[in-house]
Amino acid sequence: MRRAALALGLVALLAWPWASPRYFVFLASLSVVNAIVAIGLNLLSGYTNQLSFGHAGFLAVGAYTAALVTTRWPDTPIVVTLAVAALVTGLVGLGLGVPCLRLEGLYLAMATLAFGFVVVEAIMNLDWLTRGNDGLRVPAARLGPWALQSDTARYYLVVAVGVVMVWAALNLARTRTGRALLAIRESEIAAQASGVHLARYKTLAFAISAVYTGVAGGLFAFVVGFLSPDAFDVFLSVDYVAMIIVGGLGSVPGSIAGAALLTVLNDSLAGFQSYRPLIFGTLLILSLLFMPGGVARAFRFLKGEQG
Amino acid sequence: MTTAVLVHVVVSGLATGSIYALVAISLVIIYNATRTLNFAQGEMLMISTFVGFTAYQRLRLPLVVVLLVAVVAAAALGWAIERLIIRHAISATHFDVLILTLGVSLVLRAGAGLVWTHDEFPFPALFANRPVALGPVRVAPVSLGIIGASLALMLALYVFFAKTRLGRAMRAVAQNQRAARLMGISVERVYSASWMLAAVVGAVAGILIAPVIFLSSKMGLVAINGFIAAVLGGFGSMPGAVVGGMLLGVLENLAPLYLPSGIKYSVPFLLLIAILLVRPGGVVGRTVRRKV
Amino acid sequence: MRYHQAWVVALGALLAAAPAAAEPGVTDTEILIGGSNSFSGPLAFTGEQITKGGVELYLRVVNDAGGIHGRKVRTLWYDDAYRPQDAVANTKKLVEQDKVFAIIIPQGSPPVVATLDYLEEQKVPLLFPYQSSPVTRGKRWIFQGMTVSDRSSKMMIDYLAGRRKFKKFAALYQDDEYGKSFLTAFEKDLGRHGLKLGAAESVKRGVTDVSAQVAKLQATKPDVTFLVLVPGPAAQALKERQKIGWSDTLMVSTGPLTDERYLALAGEAAEGVEGLSLWPDPATSDRPGVKLYREHMQKYAPRNEPNRYSMAGYFAGMLFAEAAKRAGTNLTRESLIAALEGIKGWESGILPPLTIGPDHETQKQGFWVRVEKGRFKPVTDWLKGE
């Protein structure tokens, strides 16, 4: 049953560009990119209770890294580019995660918020590298002899990477690290008592979360094609938090649902102009009042399990 | 820089710092009662100021009455948000409530744009702008006025929390909700009162700062600095919120005075990270013991 | 082989028989244009005014008079909240889903620049973007709207350093693309006069206090201080100057800033301020086009008040209608571009006669103004920007 559903889902993903208009291919790519960020953020917030308002900053680091690598060395295969983006962002995440260990709850949220601001400031001021406020055009990604220039090509790239990232996140729970994170989610003190090295795993969660967001950032650069500091403001970080909460904390399918839902909603409301934030906000309020715990919990409830 | 310039810039920073402090206090009031961050604080402040402004424009009321109108509007708004939205999510996680208040802030801001447009408006000032000489230095009455009015409000709040029944009940709830309930305090009433009081403090801050940063649907963004101030001071502590606000206001002004342009805007944030790392509980915070 | 040839012949015949492909966004009764703009976010007021208050105002006049060659013009706007990625999404949707004929008056450098390559590649006309960076120059499908920063700068510096003989300059600029592009242009133009920009201080959008920046500029004792800001912070800077009693500098506003809102915000602190004005005064000018603009606003949107943003949008609508009319009944993207390129000495009644050259710029001039009793008083005639 589950296998069949999975297979069906994969086929639908692969067939999407042939079945839908070109614009929706682009929109789907954007949704997948956001879903990867949401999964990464959820690994941090959902598992170790560390709330971050700075993931737009990680996204920016990944995006600019990928864009700069491709600009400097246009022949770099996309896999390498994304790996570099993941590595750089992961290191930044580690750099932020270690000192942030001492912080909890609000304090951590504020420290990450500050990190987001500092990243945007850094992009503006390192203009010899990032072209600052002028913005950076991102050349097409390359895979061997092919340049991924069409929306469809980019979509398949994003989906391929997305599937790997989702698979890794789902299987994380089966590894030692995953079990440690789950234990931390239930109770930090209990986890510590059962021998989980709290500091190590919380830092690791930060780094993994950053790696996810860095990969998403690399994809974001190619999908959007243009980067500027205005793209990564604090409101984007808040959007990601909204995605995982609407989707459901600690749930991988929930993260995907939340990201897809909010991305599509945000897009389809654009035509309402000044009413867009009004409708978006109202829907956000209603969904949380009537669907506490997000999509993931509502789904479990529908299936008759304990919510 | 001469001393006169330094004094002026610091005083100016203290004035914006007082506003940050007031916003921080209102955030702390809500946090202490309901353990939630209120993302809509800035927008609540903006709406109340707009209501006061409309009263001023339509009825030509004197400014003191305008302030009163704004305060009443704020209390009503705070009550409504708590009663109609937040209370229904009482069993929800803090994260859920956080996103609820985010939704409220989006709705309020867009709503304000529809009612009053997204234009910016000059707001009548309670205090004059032209400088007066105080000994060797010249200061603007508007800066002193903002600082004075804010300090007066803080003092009133202090008396309220120390002397009145409701104030003490709010402190009791902040310390331990269950114990407070057992003592016969109506926790629900405290929730309502906290949201109303926070909104009122915000409204006063709004009326004070609107002549300086102008009235517009985006003036609520000033609350971001209020958040930072509250954290700098150790979230939950009112004196901390005051110190955090003043510190942030002054630093924000001193950084551009002495530092090269490449780094100056990062300073408040870098400082925030640094302070959090050295003193995770904020400048005047206490350490919190973790419960199982 | 022969089989293939037969196919090619058949295909050719089919293609020849088929009617010419219809132009996107154009039917016998309608032309559809649109754009991504700020309807929320920091520049929501401007966005609302240039699109609904301006472009739509003029197009309602056109439509009520029977449209352009019998076609009514319909508009479609999407909100991007000033985010580049949302602007990209909206623009793709307009082009691919809604199949608009052209994009009109999108706002702000970051959102506009993010869509430039895509629109050039798709051969979709990008008409009169409301931003002042020169990056839009020299593109076949793009016609720049607002006067570009380097032209503004040239007019300002030639007037101040050349005619008025000022020597010491400083600038208070917004920390973004708008501020930086003016700063670069000022430095270059001052260099031509053997001068340089003495000091420059940046201000962030949404700032609460500008006292430190203003104090630093005052310490360098400039004759002229440029304000390269948006209305809120600029009015704050003027009030700050009043607060510290700094009177021996001439404050000068750039074209995008010189407008009535900033005067209203600054109040008496704006007296004596000068600036480059890109538009005649929308509320008081008696140029025929401006009078007509006010009449139309009175008729169609009586609740709105005249301002430069809606006038800029109104002008954009006017220029589009003029070009579409000239392009004739067989309106295509190609013919629209040709018509725009053919505009010479066109009298709008708002700006001086317009000739669009190979640079594709639709607005190149401004004139000098001084604030007297709360209004801009013209000091010069139209200045030369080339």
Residue type, C22: A
Is residue C93 in a domain? yes
- Could you tell me if residue C216 is inside a domain? yes
Strand pairing report for A226-227 and A136-137: antiparallel
C-alpha distances out from residue C34 to A3, A214, C28, C37, C103, Å:
45, 34, 18, 9, 5
Q: Are residues C102 and C222 in the same domain?
A: no
Selecting from C245, C264, C267 the residue whose C-beta is nearest the C-beta of B138 gives C245
Per the CB < 8 A criterion, the answer to whether B32 and B173 are in contact is: yes
CB C336 within 8 Å of CB C31: no
Pair C373, C297 in one domain: no
Give the three-state DSSP class for C282: coil
Alpha carbon of residue C259 to chain centroid: 13
- Tokens 């003989």 belong to residue: C165
Helix (H, G, I), strand (E, B) or coil at C47: helix
pLDDT of residue C16: 47
pLDDT confidence of residue A144: 81
Using a CB-CB cut-off of 8 Å, the residues of chain C touching A272 are: 79
Model confidence at A73, in pLDDT bands (50, 70, 90)? very high
**Which of the other chains make 3 or more beta carbon contacts under 8 angstroms with chain A?**
B, C
User: Does residue C385 sit within a domain?
Assistant: no
Distance separating alpha carbons of residues C327 and C333, to the nearest angstrom: 9
**Domain total in chain C:** 2
**Residue pLDDT, tens place only, B277-287:** 787 766 665 54
Q: Specify the pLDDT at position C160.
A: 96
Q: Which residues from A are below 8 Å from B98, CB to CB?
A: 241, 245
- The pLDDT-based confidence of B79 (bands split at 50, 70, 90) is very high
A249 part of contact set with chain B, CB < 8 Å: yes
pLDDT tops 60 at residue A157: yes
Residues C82 and C124 in one domain: yes
Helix B141-163 and helix B3-34, axial crossing angle in degrees, nearest 10: 30
**Cα separation of B265 and B270, whole Å?**
9
In the block, which residue shows the tokens 């503006």? A124
Nearest CB neighbour to B8, from listed C42, C242, C244: C244
Distance of alpha carbon B281 from alpha carbon B236, whole angstroms: 10
Q: How far does Cα A253 stand from its chain's mean position?
A: 13
- In this prediction, residue C14 carries a pLDDT of 47
Is pLDDT of A264 > 70? yes
Task: Assign B157 a pLDDT band (cuts: 50, 70, 90).
Answer: very high
- The answer to whether residues C183 and C68 belong to one domain is no
Chain B residues in contact with C48 by the CB 8 A cut-off are 117-118
pLDDT attached to residue A108: 85
Domain assignment present for residue C57? The answer is: yes
Answer whether C201 sits within 8 Å of B9, measured CB to CB.
Answer: no
Torsion of CA A167, A173, A175, A176, to 10 degrees: 150
What is the domain partition of chain B in residue ranges?
3-278
Taking alpha carbons only, the member of B53, B5, B24, B52 closest to residue B202 is B24
Q: What angle do CA C108, C114, C120 make, to 5 degrees?
A: 110
Alpha carbon distances (Å) from C264 to A219, B51, B56, B63: 46, 20, 17, 19
Specify whether the CB–CB gap between C221 and C168 falls below 8 A. Answer: yes
Distance of CA A246 to the CA centre of its chain: 14
Question: Can you give the pLDDT at residue C19?
Answer: 44
Task: Write the burial class of residue B51 (CB in 10 Å: 0-12 exposed, 13-18 middle, 19+ buried).
Answer: buried
Other chains touching C, judged by 3 or more CB pairs under 8 Å: A, B
What span, in angstroms and rounded, lies between the C-alpha atoms of C381 and C260? 20
For residue A281, give the nearest of B88, B106, B273 by CB distance: B106
Longest dimension (CA), chain C: 91
CA–CA separation, C37 vs C82, rounded Å?
7
Q: What is residue B283's predicted lDDT score, i.e. its pLDDT?
A: 67
C51 touching B (Cβ < 8 Å): no
pLDDT tens-digit series, residues C235-255: 999 999 998 889 999 999 998
Residue contact A190–B292, C-beta within 8 A: yes
- The chain A residue lying nearest C85, using CA atoms, is A224
A169, two tokens: 């996140």
Torsion sign (Cα): A140, A144, A146, A148: negative
Residues of C with Cβ-Cβ distance to B9 under 8 angstroms: 211-212, 215
Per residue in A170-194, pLDDT tens? 998 789 888 888 888 888 888 888 8
| Beta carbon pairs, B and C, within 8 Å | 99
Q: Do A238 and B224 touch (CB under 8 A)?
A: no
Rounded distance between C-alpha atoms, residue C162 and residue C172, angstroms: 22
Q: Is C352 inside a domain boundary?
A: no
How far is B230 from B233, CA to CA, in rounded Å? Answer: 5
Torsion of CA A108, A110, A116, A117, to 10 degrees: -150
Residue written as tokens 């944030």? B269
By the CB < 8 Å criterion, does C114 face chain A? yes
Which residues 167-206 in chain C show a CB within 8 A of chain B? 175, 201-202, 204, 206
CA atoms of A84 and A211, how far apart (whole Å): 10
Residue A288's pLDDT is 87
pLDDT digits (tens, 9 = 90+) for B198-253: 999 999 999 999 999 999 999 999 998 998 899 888 888 899 999 999 999 999 89
My answer on whether C110 and C197 are in the same domain is: no
pLDDT of residue B138: 80
CB distance A228–C84 less than 8 Å?
yes
The DSSP output letter for C83 is -
User: B3-278 belongs to which CATH class?
Assistant: mainly alpha
Q: What is the pLDDT of residue C18?
A: 45
How high is the pLDDT of residue A145?
A: 83
**B120 CB near a chain C CB, below 8 Å?**
yes
Average pLDDT, chain B: 89
**Residues A284-299 pLDDT 10s:** 999 888 888 888 888 8
Distance (Å, whole) CA B231 – CA A112: 12
Six-digit token string for C369: 């103004």
pLDDT of residue A1: 67
* CB count in 10 Å sphere of residue C378: 14
DSSP string, A231-280: GG-HHHHHHHHHHHHHH-TT-HHHHHHHHHHHHHHHHHTGGGGGGHHHHH
Mean pLDDT for back-to-back runs of 10 residues, chain C (386 residues): 51 47 88 96 94 97 96 96 95 96 95 94 96 90 94 95 96 92 95 95 87 93 96 94 92 92 91 95 94 97 94 97 95 95 94 92 94 93 84
**β-strands C197-203, C224-228 pairing:** unpaired
Task: State both tokens at C3.
Answer: 């089989």
Are residues C155 and C139 part of one domain? Answer: no
The mean pLDDT of chain A is: 90
Asked whether residue C242 falls in the same domain as residue C374, the answer is yes
> What are C174's strand-pairing partners?
C203
One domain, residues C136 and C198 = no
Residue of C55, C62, C106 whose CA lies nearest to C80: C106
Q: What is the pLDDT of residue C22?
A: 78
Q: Which of A5-19, A156-170, C3-17 has the lowest mean pLDDT?
A: C3-17
Domain with C136 in it: 30-147+285-341
Is C327 a member of any domain?
yes
For residues C154 and C131, state if they share a domain: no
Mention every residue, 6+ apart, whose C-beta is less than 8 A from residue A171: A178
Question: Rounded CA gap, B284 and B239, in Å?
Answer: 8
For residue range C81-108, list pLDDT tens digits in order: 999 999 999 999 999 999 999 999 999 9
* C36, C96, C113 ranked by CB distance to A22: nearest: C96
> Are residues C373 and C239 part of one domain?
yes
Q: B59 CB contacts (<8 Å, ≥6 apart)?
A: none
pLDDT of residue C1: 42
Same domain assignment for residues C70 and C154: no
ipTM value > 0.90? yes
Question: Is residue C141 located within the same domain as residue C154?
Answer: no
Percent of chain A exceeding pLDDT 90 equals 61
C249/C169 Cα distance (integer angstroms): 9
